[in-house]
């Protein structure tokens, strides 16, 4: 069952945002996904990541799914 994602307004220094956006692009993630990745990593490193937290989607485009009509 999919859970609704929480929305959060985050104010960042423009230089920090630019650096995050470049880093995200290098890893084929959106800036939002990069921030979530870094937060999850920090929580895991601190032993504070909840066990019930879902998996993050892998970076890059989702795998192509075959068209059922072509099979």
- Name the band, by pLDDT with cuts 50, 70 and 90, for residue 64: confident
Q: What is the pTM of this model?
A: 0.73
60 falls within a domain: no
- Name the band, by pLDDT with cuts 50, 70 and 90, for residue 66: low
Residues 6+ apart with CB under 8 A from 20: 12, 31, 34, 35
25 falls within a domain: yes
Residue range of the domain that includes 44? 13-49
45 falls within a domain: yes
- Tally of domains within the chain: 1
Instruction: Report residue 9 as tokens.
Output: 């307004």
pLDDT of residue 16: 98
pLDDT per residue over 2-61, tens digit each? 578 889 999 999 999 999 999 999 999 999 999 999 999 999 999 999 998 888 777 667
Q: CA 69, CA 71: separation in Å to the nearest integer?
A: 6
- Name the band, by pLDDT with cuts 50, 70 and 90, for residue 1: very low
59 falls within a domain: no
């Amino acid at each position: 069952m999919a859970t609704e994602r929480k929305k959060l307004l985050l104010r960042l220094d423009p230089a920090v945002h630019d650096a995050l956006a470049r880093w995200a692009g290098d890893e084929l993630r959106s800036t939002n996904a990069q921030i979530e990745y870094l937060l999850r990593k920090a929580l895991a490193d601190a032993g504070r990541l909840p066990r019930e937290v879902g998996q993050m989607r892998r970076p890059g485009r989702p795998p192509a799914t075959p068209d059922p009509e072509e099979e």
